[in-house]
Amino acid sequence: MIVAKRKPFAEIKAMLKGYKKVLNVGCGTCVSVCLAGGEREVAILNTEIEMTRKLDGEPIEIQGHTIERQCDREYLAELDSLIEEGKFDALMSMACGVGIQFLAERYPLIPTFPAVDTTGLAVNQAVGWYEERCRSCSQCVLGMTGGICPVTMCAKGLYNGPCGGTNKGNCEISSEQPCAWFKIYERLKGQNRLDSIKMINVARGWNDQTPRNLVQPGYKRPENMNR
Amino acid sequence: MSTEKTLRSGSNLEKILKSGQFAFTGELGPPRGSDVDEVREKAKFLKGNVDSVNITDNQTAMVRMSSWAASLIAIQEGLEPNYQMVCRDRNRLAMQADILGGSALGIRNMLCLSGDHQKFGDHPDAKGVFDIDSIQLIAMVRQMRDEGKFLSGGDLHGAPKMFIGAASNPFADPFEWRVHRLAKKIAAGADFIQTQCIYNMEKFREFIRLANEEGLTENVYILAGVTPMKSVGMAKYMKNKVPGMDVPDDIIKRLQGVEKNQVSQEGINIACEQIEEFKTMKGVHGVHLMAIEWEHKVPEIAAQAKVLPRPQPE
Ligand code: SF4
Ligand code: SF4
């Protein structure tokens, strides 16, 4: 899932400075599961903001609303009437970066602010602990690397590891960070597939250097669509 | 390759290795500033005592004078540089441009490295480039030199003449992988290898034995890495703090066993004993001396190691 972390309160407070009526929009999918931007987090943040602003003598009216998915127009539409009637002077979003942008795009006349820092595509290792596993590089090499991602998990994103810094199975950057390539080596050895990494992996072409669009086979982009 | 005598770059180092003589290379870290005299001062101690000198590239991820600029100063000082290039700081465009520029201005050896992670240096939150990795860099230089083509496949005019070096750390784990990795670097196009500093001789002998067995040492020149210990503190630091470094307790005990003012001499003694063994070790073709911030000791170490005078190929 996509994981995110709430921004430091001081940063959020600074962004909202001067705004008096704000709607904070949560997202019920990924960020909700990773405890960053669901209904509960929206309520907690709003209470915090309200209290601080009151203490500062600059009261704010802040409402919360959490929709199923902010990256989906169908669910965003739910906000239209609320926003029209509410006359908010700013919006805040606790969705991932994708959701925040979609919200901002739908209401281009209202300033929209992020309340979270989106951190990546991660697995849930234990309650509250999420480990990044994919940088969505567009050319998945997991077949060659025994199902362990070198782009994400190797600190240097090497394609021909493990490098000379591998330290007792950990990466040279920290004794807390397992070396991805050490794990790749061990996994492939266990599968009797070391040949897979004995060959040279040639320099790859990065095709994530321009904004990517994905149109699934059998579909096409609608013509004249406003974006 | 050891049997193949055609010169690829015509560097001094290549000529010495190809003539079957035992090579002896040194290292020079560029200054953290633009002071040319600092380079000249260090160069003075290396001149005549080594066949080629590695010019480090933002070593330990600390910003320093660029390695190609310091390489050119080394040339002015009568030294032959081994221009180090790491993958951390440049993408493939900048790398190829610097390889061409370096070759145009007389650089004939280069060492291709991944580079220490930027986290260790003075700009820990810099964006690491790692557009290509060290093995891909070796292959890229080889392609530019032997095929006259850029990485993209496009033709280049005037192929860069480089004797291609790579690093090897026989002490990083998994141990069995280290020989495979060496094989990959040779397959990619490495002409010579400089190893990590060796302290665990037993492990190194085993590494070379395996490399000999696989026939790798017939296809590449291996220079064994040697760094004399200056103090007990340095030995302990290397053992505990430097990733991928293997310092056996015996070394520390031996340094502790001598009078305080004799410790650095004992460090040099250990290094010279190692060099003596490397001279006759099958599969080892030379020594790479990394006397870190100890350049002024190089003449003395070279003399004690009996590697002087250095051969002067045509
Ligand atoms: S190689 Fe890694 S970053 Fe690329 S798609 Fe696969 S898991 Fe994601
Ligand atoms: S130690 Fe392992 S994870 Fe770290 S940079 Fe080297 S290969 Fe990558």
Helix (H) / strand (E) containing A118: strand A116-126
Interchain CB contact of A64 with B (< 8 Å): no
Name which of A151, A152, A159, A166 to mutate to probe chain B: the one with the most chain B Cβ atoms within 10 A of its Cβ.
A166
Residues A98-139 pLDDT 10s:
999 999 999 999 999 999 999 999 999 999 999 999 999 999
Q: Quick one: which atom of ligand 1 is closest to the CA of A133?
A: 7
Does residue A44 belong to any structural domain of this protein?
yes
Is residue A195 pLDDT above 90, yes or no? yes
Whether residues A31 and A92 fall in one domain? yes
Whether residues A115 and A14 fall in one domain? yes
Does residue A111 belong to any structural domain of this protein?
yes
Q: How many CB atoms lie within 10 A of CB B74?
A: 28
Q: Quick one: which atom of ligand 1 is closest to the CA of A135?
A: 3
Chain B residues close to A157, C-beta within 8 Å? 128, 130
Of B120, B133, B140, the CB nearest to A159: B133
Q: Which of A120, A149, A172 is the last residue of a domain?
A: A120
Does residue A69 belong to any structural domain of this protein?
yes
Q: Is residue A145 within 6 Å of ligand 1 at its C-beta?
A: no
Chain A residues close to B198, C-beta within 8 Å? none
Amino acid symbol at A63: Q
Q: Partners of A33 in the beta sheet?
A: none
CA dihedral defined by A128, A131, A137, A140, rounded to 10 degrees?
-120
Does residue A98 belong to any structural domain of this protein?
yes
Q: Partners of A194 in the beta sheet?
A: none
Does residue A68 belong to any structural domain of this protein?
yes
Does residue B130 belong to any structural domain of this protein?
yes
How many Å apart are CA A127 and CA A132, to the nearest integer? Answer: 15
Domain harbouring B95, CATH code: 3.20.20.220
Q: Is residue A134 within 6 Å of ligand 1 at its C-beta?
A: yes
Does residue A216 belong to any structural domain of this protein?
no
How many Å apart are CA A138 and CA A212, to the nearest integer? Answer: 9
Is A159 close to B172, i.e. CB distance below 8 A? Answer: no
Residues B40-51 pLDDT 10s:
999 999 999 999
Whether residues A54 and A145 fall in one domain? no
Interchain CB contact of A167 with B (< 8 Å): yes
Q: Which residues span the domain enclosing B122?
A: 12-304
Report the mean per-residue pLDDT for chain A: 96
Interchain CB contact of A186 with B (< 8 Å): yes
Give me the pLDDT at residue B4, please: 66
> Across residues A79-86, what is the average pLDDT?
96
Contact indicator for A72, A95 with CB cutoff of 8 Å: no
Angle among Cα B285, B289, B294 to the nearest 5 degrees reads: 170
Residues B213-251 pLDDT 10s:
999 999 999 999 999 999 999 999 999 988 789 999 999
Does residue A205 belong to any structural domain of this protein?
no
Whether residues A92 and A30 fall in one domain? yes
Angle among Cα B134, B31, B222 to the nearest 5 degrees reads: 40
- Residue B134 DSSP label: H
Q: How many CB atoms lie within 10 A of CB B32?
A: 12
The whole-angstrom distance between B304's CA and the closest CA on chain A is: 30
Is B130 close to A186, i.e. CB distance below 8 A? Answer: no
Give the count of domains, chain A: 2
Q: Among residues A53, B267, A88, B13, which one has the least CA distance to residue A80?
A: A88
Report the mean per-residue pLDDT for chain B: 96
Give me the pLDDT at residue B5, please: 74
Q: How many residues does chain A have?
A: 227
Q: Is B282 exposed, middle or buried (0-12, 13-18, 19+ CB in 10 A)?
A: exposed
> Across residues B65-80, what is the average pLDDT?
98
Give the count of domains, chain B: 1
- Residue B217 DSSP label: G
The whole-angstrom distance between A48's CA and the closest CA on chain B is: 31
Amino acid symbol at B255: L
Looking at ligand 2, which residue's alpha carbon is closest to its atom 7? A162
Contact indicator for B221, B285 with CB cutoff of 8 Å: yes
Give me the pLDDT at residue A149, please: 98
Chain B residues close to A161, C-beta within 8 Å? 133
Share of chain A above pLDDT 70, in %: 100
Residues B100-155 pLDDT 10s:
999 999 999 999 999 999 999 999 999 999 999 999 999 999 999 999 999 999 99
Chain B residues close to A169, C-beta within 8 Å? 173
Q: Quick one: which atom of ligand 2 is closest to the CA of A157?
A: 8
Give me the pLDDT at residue B171, please: 95
Does residue B267 belong to any structural domain of this protein?
yes
- Residue A193 DSSP label: -
Whether residues A82 and A150 fall in one domain? no
Helix (H) / strand (E) containing B72: helix B67-76
Q: Is residue A158 within 6 Å of ligand 2 at its C-beta?
A: yes
Model's pTM, two decimal places? 0.95
CA-CA-CA-CA torsion sign (B125, B126, B131, B136) = negative
Residues B21-37 pLDDT 10s:
999 999 999 999 999 99
Interchain CB contact of A194 with B (< 8 Å): yes
Domain harbouring A26, CATH code: 3.40.50.2300
Give me the pLDDT at residue B2, please: 46
Chain B residues close to A158, C-beta within 8 Å? 114, 130, 133
Q: Which of A120, A147, A179 is the last residue of a domain?
A: A120
Q: Which of A60, A88, A120 is the last residue of a domain?
A: A120
User: What is each CA distance from B170 to A222, B179, B211, B295, in whole angstroms?
Assistant: 58, 8, 11, 25
